[in-house]
Structure formats: C-alpha cells, structure tokens
A and B are shown apart, each in its own frame.
Chain A
Amino acid sequence: MIRLLRYDLVCGFAANIKKIVMFVIVMILYNVIAYHEIMAFCKGTGIKPGMLDYFCYVLGGPKYIPENMLDIYEIPVMWLMVQIMIAYIIGYYAITDLHRYGQHILLRSESRIKWWISKIIWNVITVLSMYAIVFLMTFITGYISGAECKGKLTEEICVGVCKLSSVTQNEKLLYIELFIMPVIISVSISILQMTVALITYPIIGFVVSQSITFLSTIYTTKILLSNYAMLSHSRYTCFSNIVYSDGLIYGFIVMIISIFVGSIYFNHVDILPKNKDI
C-alpha cells in the first residue's frame, strides 16, 4: 500500500508538473491583482490593511447575490480559476494512469481497493498542496505589502474591495470559514469529480464539479456544496442560511459516498481501455 501511494505521489505530481506551474502563475496573477486593489483602496482611505484581508480577497468567495438581483452579477473569474485549476489537475491523472502504466501497478498490488484508496489519498494530498500554495503566496503578498498581523478583518476593506456584505469579528468562525471550510469542500468536490470521472468520462467529472462550484456563485442555497466554502455566502456575513457546521457534515457525507460508490464500481469494472467517444 505504501509503495502504491509512493508511486501515485511521485508519478501524479510528475505528470501534472506543467499544470502545477500554470496554477502557480495563476496564483501570482491573482495575488498581484489583490495587492493592487487593496493598496489602491488603502491609499484612498488611509486605512492600513491586515494580513487576513488578503486571505479574504483570495479565499473569501464572490459577492453575495440576493434572489432576483442577477443584473448585479459578474462572473468571479479569478476565484473560479483557482477551483478550475484544482479540478484540471485532479481531473485526468487517475483515468490515464489506469489505462497506461497503472495497469501493471494494479496487477502487482493485487488489490483494486488499495489502488482506489491510493488514488483518493493522492487526490486529497494534491488538493492540500494546492491550498498550501495559495496560503503561502497570499501570505507572501501580505508580507510584501506590509500588512499587519491583526488577527481580524478590516471592515472597510472587506466590504469595499473583497465584496463582503458585512464582516464577522468572531475569530473562531473567521478562521474556520476562511481557512478550513474551503479546503474541506474542495477535497469533497475533488473526490466526487474523480468518482464521476471513473464511472463516466473525465470531462463529465469536470463539468459536474464545476457546475456545482459555478452555480454556487449565483445561488446561495444549502444544496450547492461550494456555498459552504465561501465566507461571502455565510450566514455570518450576509442574509443566508449557510452555516459551516452543515457544510462540514454535508462535505463529509459527499466524500464518504463518493469513495464508497467508487470502490464498489471499481471492484467490478473491466479495466481494459475501450475506444471511447469523448
């Protein structure tokens, strides 16, 4: 099992090295935009930004859109690009590996379940690595701009630049909503994507995961999982019923069901490559 995991970690990252470099470039661009917008606002108002304000800009999510007010909606391209790049990195490795060298590895491991669990662990570690890159680069941006380590959000910056409706100063909630929930929800959605990709096609897995993410930027409902990853859609910053505790339970349920369905399917499926249409 450990050898299988080592193979997946080494080959998985090696196969995706170009995509990871692209992700780093996207994050650099996103942080440059964050730096310019926050510094321009601070120069105009004389407020000093905090480190958490940068994290709020990058991870806080898109503006909350009340019902029937779609005319103010703008596609939050940069926030979506982070989710798209993670889905892009996750999307294809497991299936291509199965149809190429991974078949030999599967034969030697003598267990389909171990192969599937190894892929799940690879998936989780990849998502955590991507978020580690996000946190690191945002921290560096905040450090370069001279942001204070206040431990709180600056209300004027969060409402004026980060597009939050209001701000919560409850530190425990803030750290859970801003740092922990995006990671857990991303892991759940990535595992769901990988399961759908295994059962159908990688592009369908991508469409399913990105549909959930994109529709969450428009509709603030409990059904759409990505809402729990956005501080801007939380009950503590706007008029919604999105609570992080529901998100934790929902995220774990989606994760467990995806892993279970994937393992049952993979135990019975013919692993030889077929001539697929898409």
Chain B
Amino acid sequence: MRRILKIEYERSTHNLGMLLALLMGIGCILYQVIPVILRIIESKDIYKNTYTSFTRGGFYNLWLPGYLDGSTIYYFYFIGIIVALPFGISYVRDKNSGYIKNICNRVEKKKYLKAKFISTFISGGCAAVIPLIIDFLIVRLIIPIDCFEDIKGTVLNGITDWNAFIIQHSYIAFVIILLMWFCFGGALATISLMASAFSSNYFTIQLSPFFFMMILFYLPSFLPDSYGKYFPYNFLSLFGKGNPFICFVEITLILIVTYVAFVIGETRKDIL
C-alpha cells in the first residue's frame, strides 16, 4: 500500500494540472494583493492614514477569506475546477491507457483505488490551500496577524463565537482555516473521482466539482437566511456566520459518499 500510495502521490503532485491550478490560484492572490501594496508604496503618509486604514480589522481583513474583492469571488467560483485539475481525470486516463491492468497485476485493486483516492484528496487540498499560504506570506509583510486596532465595520465585526475565537487566538484560527480549505478542496476533488465511476468523458469529470459548487451557490436562495451558514461561501469565508464544525461535518459527508461510490463501487467492477 505504501509503495502504490507513493507512486500515486508523485503522479498527483508532479503534473501540468497542478501547475495550472496553482497558477490560477496565485493569479487571483496577486490581483488582490498588488493594488494594496502599490497604494501603500505610493502613499506619502505611510504611517498615518493609509497604514491605519489597513490595520483596521487586522490581518484577516486583507487575507483572501476575509477580503471582499472580485478575485476572492473568482476564486470561490472556480475552486471546483482548480481542485480537479491536478488529478481528477487520472482514473479514467489509467483505464483508457491500460495502465490500470498493469497496476492491478501487481497490487490489489482496492489498494490502488484507496491510494488514488488519498492522492486526489491531497492534491486537491494542496491546490486549494497553497495560494492561501502565499497570500498569508505576502499580507504578513504589510500587517501583523494579531493586530486588531479597530474591528468596527470590518469582516470580524460579526457577533459569532468563531469571530471571537479568531480575535482571541489568531494563530490557531489561522491554522484551522487553512485546514478547512485543505480538507474541503480535497473533498471536492474526490467528487471528480466519483464522477469517473459513472462517466468516461474527461470534460464532464473535470467539471463535476464545478457543477457541484454551482448547486451549492444556488441552493441558499431557496432557503431562509439562517441556513446560509451551511454553505461553503459562508463557512470558508469570514463574511458569513459559518464555523469550522459545520465545515468538517460536510467534508466528512462528502468523503463518505465519494469513497463508497468510487472505492467500494469500482472494486466490484471488472477492469477489462
């Protein structure tokens, strides 16, 4: 199991899809952050008005999950494609090329499928979270993480337990947010594996997490506002009233469904 997992992990992270996914994510980050840096550089009064306006609300007001900008919304919109790009179509590609027959001669099919599931989860999570880490490193150049001079009117102003936790334990909250994004990105990527159990069209498989996210964007309009916290735009960003518990419960549900459909479902099928 360790050997096949290593092979699949190498394949999932060292490919053109991962590069393109990271380029898309980093492009969004740079679009968001560069104008802010330029404004600070151009401002003559750097230690007075301009700097103070950025420190209001602290680090979380400038970081992608808390910064309301076209690039943030773009990142949320295309997250389904970003996570599926690295390894989403690998199973169908293996089947079509005959690679799966060579692998299943050497390794139990269930182990191969589990290794693929884990690698897809990790590659999807990395594609989702690496741009956030880069954004953190850049924003951290401008503002300290635990500086909350005046949160009135900023993204952390909402009266929720999660916002209070972020203010009190900034570093721990930062790690939890990264973990949420990593696990959610990974779970979304496994949806493409589930789609590959039902379809052999590469395009459909790569777009299946994207269509899933479109459904999750649309459903809140049919439900009362109090249900909004159960949807990704609210629990992954700092604008809504979501919290990590809801996020991890939903991730677990998605992983259970995709695991059953892909690993258990495909183990029973013949590879010929």
Contact for A70 among B70, B201, B214, CB less than 8 A: B70
- Render A111-146 as a binary contact track against B, CB cut-off 8 A, 1 for contact: 000000000000000000000000000000000000
Query: Across the interface, do A207 and B70 meet the contact criterion of CB distance under 8 Å?
Result: no
| Interface residue stretch chosen among A75-83, A161-169, A170-178, A243-251 | A75-83
Which of A84, A207, A211 touches B214 (beta carbons < 8 Å)? Answer: A84
> What is the minimal beta-carbon distance from A30 to any residue of chain B, in angstroms?
11
Known: A70-B69, A215-B74, A218-B74. 6 other contacts (CB 8 A): A74-B221, A75-B217, A92-B201, A203-B85, A206-B203, A218-B70
Q: Given A70-B68, A207-B81, are A75 and B73 also a contact pair (CB < 8 Å)?
A: yes
A270 at the interface (CB under 8 A from B): no
Query: Which residues, 186 to 234 on B, are CB-close (under 8 Å) to A?
Result: 201-203, 206-207, 214, 217-218, 221
Per the CB 8 Å criterion, the residue count for chain A at the interface is 27
B16 at the interface (CB under 8 A from A): yes
Residues of A within 8 A of B221 (CB): 74, 77
Whether A45 sits at the interface, judged by CB under 8 Å, is no
- Residue numbers of A with Cβ under 8 A of B are 70-71, 73-75, 77-78, 80-81, 84, 88, 91-92, 202-204, 206-207, 210-211, 214-215, 218-219, 275, 277-278
Chain A residues whose CB sits within 8 angstroms of the CB of B78 once the complex forms? 207, 210-211, 214
Check if B17 is an interface residue, CB within 8 A of chain A.
Answer: yes
With contacts A203-B203, A203-B206 taken as known, whether A73 is within 8 angstroms of B73 at the C-beta atoms is yes
Q: Is the beta-carbon distance between B17 and A77 smaller than 8 angstroms?
A: no
List A contacts of B102 (CB < 8 A).
Answer: none
Scoring A84, A92, A218, A277 by chain B CB atoms within 10 A of each residue's CB, the highest score goes to A277
Which B residues form the contact surface with A (CB < 8 A)? 15-17, 20, 24, 68-70, 73-74, 77-78, 81, 85, 89, 97, 201-203, 206-207, 214, 217-218, 221
Please measure, in the bound complex, the distance between the C-alpha atom of A74 and the C-alpha atom of B231, giving whole angstroms.
14
- A30→B132 CA distance, assembly (Å): 35
Closest to A65 in B: B70
Query: Across the interface, which residues of A come within 8 angstroms of B15, CB to CB?
Result: 277-278
Q: Which one of B16, B81, B89, B202 contacts A92 once the chains associate, using CB atoms below 8 Å?
A: B202
Contact B202 A77 (CB under 8 A): no
Contact A81 B206 (CB under 8 A): no
> Nearest Cβ distance between residue A16 and chain B, in whole angstroms?
10
Shortest CB distance B118–A (Å): 20
A214 touches B74 (CB 8 A): yes
Per the bound structure, the CA–CA distance linking A214 and B77 in Å amounts to: 9
Name which residue of chain A comes closest to B68, CB basis. A70
